[in-house]
Amino acid sequence: MSISEENLPYKEKIELKSWPNSTDIDSYRKMHGKSLENIEEHWANVAKELDWFKPWDKVLVADPQPPFYKWFVGGKLNASYLAVDRHANTWRRNKLAIIWEGEPTDSSGNPLEVRKLTYYDLYREVNRLAYAIRSKLGLRKGDTVTIYLPMIPELPILMLALARLGVIFSVVFSGFSAQALADRVMDAKSKVIFTADAFWRRGKVVRLKEVVDEALKGIQFVEKVVVFRRMGLKDTPMVNGRDIWWDELLSDVPMNTYVKPEEIESEHPLYILYTSGTTGKPKGIVHDTGGYMTLLHATMKWVFDIKDTDVYWCTADIGWVTGHSYIVFGPLMEGVTEVMYEGAPDYPTPDRWWRIVERYGVTILYTSPTAIRTFMRYGDDWVKGHDFSTIRILHSVGEPINPEAWKWAWKWLGRGSVPFGSTWWMTETGGILISHAPGLALIPLKPGTNGLPLPGIDADVVDDEGKPVQGKRGYLVIKKPWPGMLMTIWGDPNRYIQVYWSRFPGMYYAGDWAIKDEDGYIWVLGRADEVIKVSGHRLGTYEIESALVSHKAVAESAVVGVPDPVRGEVPVAFVVLKSGVNPSQELVKELRNWVRTAIGPIAEPANIVFVSKLPKTRSGKIMRRLLKQVLMKQPLGDTTTLEDETSIDEAKKAYEELA
């Protein structure tokens, strides 16, 4: 089911000859090779198509030295200007920017709440909010704030208002717990938090403001919490002097308020986004403005072939990087009409998404393997009869897409005829780097592949020594800097060097296993480190272990990801209890809940296996690889570094008893 080195359909090629940009692999590779001869010229040609207040002096500067890079140095621009002013001043002012659906429906499944915002509406809202944020909250360029909001139009409006002022924001996914939120607020030292009273998820009211209050219990430096009334709950707790309603903040700001967008240096941080790594707390990935917007512009054109007639829908949550890049900044910069949906994909019925596709005539759908597998599970009856004829491009993101899921989506949603790729990238890369490019030059599809790197992207697969390998599993690396790349880790430049640029000197290390096939297509197989992808969401097993050992009953823990037919991977925890504590079903429940509370529901272990010791090397390193093999019932391979063989036998037995 999941993709591995052995079962890739390398040879299966699907040519879409009638596609206007259809091309052969050799021509694409030639073009790609040419783009790498002079990446500065290549990217400067893309950047020229943005509106700059001041042109750059230098395309690329290593500053202070590699691996720190600055793009379009000397140039000034504004992401909010690109996303709204540019359109509000043209014929697009009356074009729909966002079509938003809330989750609740009537008894026949029609949405009870729909909001449609034109580019002019968006322009007004962004300006008014920017004004209020500057004049009433006193926020200025370079300040940091945290955003903890659900999928409502106010979220992109707020991000654009902050970008207009040069205020650096950190969006925290609304499914994260109070503890996870607190960690991120502290790391970013945000003085202001933006949130909502509550939102709908699978028919339930999720009360967000209470989570913020909980998170802020131990934090003194937060001065203001701005609360949007999404539900209009009467009993939302408000702290006197600290908390303020969003509508009150805006109440006396005139409709026609204009805030001149700050002229932002290209390398000024647009945002921080926290993501999980191998060890330690989540890292604050810092993105610049000029390079980032340039990569988004390129990929909106090349990967999505965006046209003014399109209705675009990226089904991600803005709390993750996909939403930042491909719901907020990318599509709005291109003047796209896009769909935004608040709730669960299968609520109230498993065809909720297909009704949305039909209702608005979605033409470009960007979604995830885990969503596709969920819909596959519900069966063909839920897709049969729905009209997918408007869809002309499909793409997937977040984790490898197994060929079965690819084929199912291509058959039903793509009617066996549209370009459908699996776009590889990560929080750190800012935007898509490896993907089919139907807007530029479309090479044959292969079910499950990521395809060739985009022009200007020097991606490769290398062995342990950093030498290129083909037809064999290796590590994915990027050999040249690209616009949109992370600038650093917030407050921790050394960690930036160590995590991404130390494994193979001079190359960006992605942390993924991949294969390059005989055509040069790249197939990312999954993470090569202690990171797992649960329903496409990135989690560090280390974070789950830390949460577990903070429970009074737990002495030690090792968490591994195991394949799951729908969610891709799920965490399973091996737990050593403190002496005197007895394992029980109650304790299993309690520990699972404990992790939910510490991180969020997505991190909850699917299983907890109690053992008396963990398999370790002689130097004391936990051998998670062996535990994973136990769970997957695979041969163990080399166990010579194992200190105590009985630890593995015990883990095996404990797991078998559980199953």
Question: Any contact of residue 125 with ligand WT7 (CB under 6 A)?
Answer: no
Shortest gap between Cβ of 315 and ligand WT7 (angstroms)?
12
Q: How far is the CB of 450 from ligand WT7 (least distance, A)?
A: 5
67 preceded by cis ω (within 30°)? yes
- In the bound state with ligand WT7, the residue whose beta carbon lies nearer, of 132 and 376, is 376
Taken in order 414, 418, 422, 426, the sign of the CA dihedral is negative
Helix (H, G, I), strand (E, B) or coil at 588: helix
Residue 127 · residue 257 · CB < 8 Å:
yes
Show the site string, 429-458: x = touches ligand WT7 by CB under 6 A, - = not: ---------------------x--------
Q: Which of 309, 341, 328, 212 is nearest to 271 (CA)?
A: 328
Shortest Å, Cβ 366 to ligand WT7: 10
Q: Which two tokens stand for residue 98?
A: 């966002």
321 binds ligand WT7 (CB under 6 A): yes
Instruction: Give whichever of 400 and 600 is closer to ligand WT7, judged by the CB atom.
Output: 400
Element (H, E) at 370: helix 369-378
In terms of CB distance, is 195 or 535 closer to ligand WT7? Answer: 535
* 512 contacts ligand WT7 (rule: CB under 6 A): yes
Based on the shown chain and the rule CB under 6 A, indicate whether residue 92 belongs to the binding site for ligand WT7: no
- 92 or 527: whose CB is closer to ligand WT7? 527
Residue 290 in the binding site for ligand WT7 (CB under 6 A): no
Closer of 122 and 394 to ligand WT7 (Cβ): 394
Least Å from the CB of residue 475 to ligand WT7 = 11
**Which two tokens mark 192?**
């202001």
| Residue 54, H or E segment | none
Using CB under 6 A as the binding rule, whether residue 299 contacts ligand WT7 is answered as no
Among 56, 292, 353, 425, binds ligand WT7 (CB under 6 A): 425
Closest separation in Å from C-beta 523 to ligand WT7: 8
Contact 283, 492 (CB under 8 A): yes
For residue 510, state whether it binds ligand WT7 (rule: CB under 6 A): yes
Which of 424, 490, 521, 574 touches ligand WT7 by CB under 6 A? 424
The span of 26-34, 199-207, 422-430, 620-628 binding ligand WT7 (CB under 6 A) equals 422-430
Residue 274 touches ligand WT7, criterion: CB under 6 A? no
Query: Encoding tokens for residue 189?
Result: 């030292």
Binder of ligand WT7 out of 289, 337, 427, 488 (CB under 6 A)? 427
- CA distances, 595 to each of 385, 549, 598, 608 (Å): 41, 10, 5, 11
Contacts of 42 (CB under 8 A, 6+ apart): 35, 36, 455, 456
State in angstroms the smallest separation of the CB of 299 from ligand WT7: 11
Q: Return the residue of 400, 414, 438, 481 that touches ligand WT7, per CB under 6 A.
A: 400
126 contributes a contact to ligand WT7 by CB under 6 A? no
Closer residue to ligand WT7 (CB): 71 or 424: 424
| Nearest distance, CB of residue 622 and ligand WT7, angstroms | 22
Among 298, 394, 524, 622, binds ligand WT7 (CB under 6 A): 524
Q: How far is the CB of 407 from ligand WT7 (least distance, A)?
A: 16
* CB atoms closer than 10 angstroms to residue 646: 11
Structure tokens at 608: 């907890």
Residues 40-71: b if buried by 16+ CB within 10 A, e if exposed: eebbbebbeebebeeebeebbbeeeeebbbbb
Query: Between 274 and 382, whose beta carbon lies closer to ligand WT7?
Result: 274
Structure tokens at 82: 């690109």
Closest distance of CB 320 from ligand WT7, Å: 6
> What DSSP string runs through 208-247?
HHHHHHHHGGG-----EEEEE-SS--TT----TTTEEEHH
* Residue 224 binds ligand WT7, judged by CB under 6 A: no
Residue 387 to residues 19, 301, 363, 367: CA-CA distances in angstroms? 21, 26, 12, 18
CA atoms within 13 A on the CB side of 251: 7
Candidate segments 249-257, 259-267, 393-401, 623-631, binder of ligand WT7 by CB under 6 A: 393-401
- Cβ proximity to ligand WT7: between 3 and 133 the closer is 3
Radius of gyration of the chain, Cα coordinates, nearest whole angstrom: 24
At its nearest, how many Å lie between ligand WT7 and the CB of residue 420?
Answer: 12
398 scored as a contact of ligand WT7 (CB under 6 A): yes
Smaller CB distance to ligand WT7: residue 76 or 527? 527
Identify which of residues 398 and 481 has a Cβ nearer to ligand WT7 in the complex: 398
Report strand pairing: 192-196 vs 198-201: unpaired
d(CA 160, CA 259): 12
Q: How many residues in the shown chain lie near ligand WT7 by CB under 6 A?
A: 21
Tell me which DSSP letter residue 327 carries. Answer: I
Query: By three-state DSSP, how is residue 59 classified?
Result: strand
Binding of ligand WT7 at residue 185 (CB under 6 A)? no
How far apart (Å, rounded) are the C-alpha atoms in residues 25 and 76? 38
**DSSP run (H or E) holding 619:** none
Nearer to ligand WT7, 524 or 651 (CB): 524
Nearer to ligand WT7, 335 or 511 (CB): 511
List C-alpha distances in Å: 223 to 190, 219, 241.
9, 10, 9
In this structure, are residues 464 and 501 in contact, taking their beta carbons and an 8 Å threshold?
no
Task: Please say whether the dihedral angle defined by the alpha carbons of residues 153, 159, 165 and 170, taken in this order, is positive or negative.
Answer: positive
In the list 195, 422, 629, 647, the residue contacting ligand WT7 (rule: CB under 6 A) is: 422
The answer to whether 322 contacts ligand WT7 (rule: CB under 6 A) is yes
Residue 80 φ then ψ, to 5°: -70, -40
- The CA-based diameter of the chain, rounded to the nearest angstrom, is 73
The total number of residues shown for the chain amounts to 659
Which range binds ligand WT7 by CB under 6 A, 152-160, 223-231, 394-402, 477-485?
A: 394-402
User: Among residues 70, 436, 446, 538, which is the contact residue for ligand WT7, using CB under 6 A?
Assistant: 538
How many Å apart are CA 471 and CA 514, to the nearest integer? 10
Residues that bind ligand WT7 (CB under 6 A): 275, 321-322, 397-400, 422-427, 450, 510-512, 524, 527, 533, 538
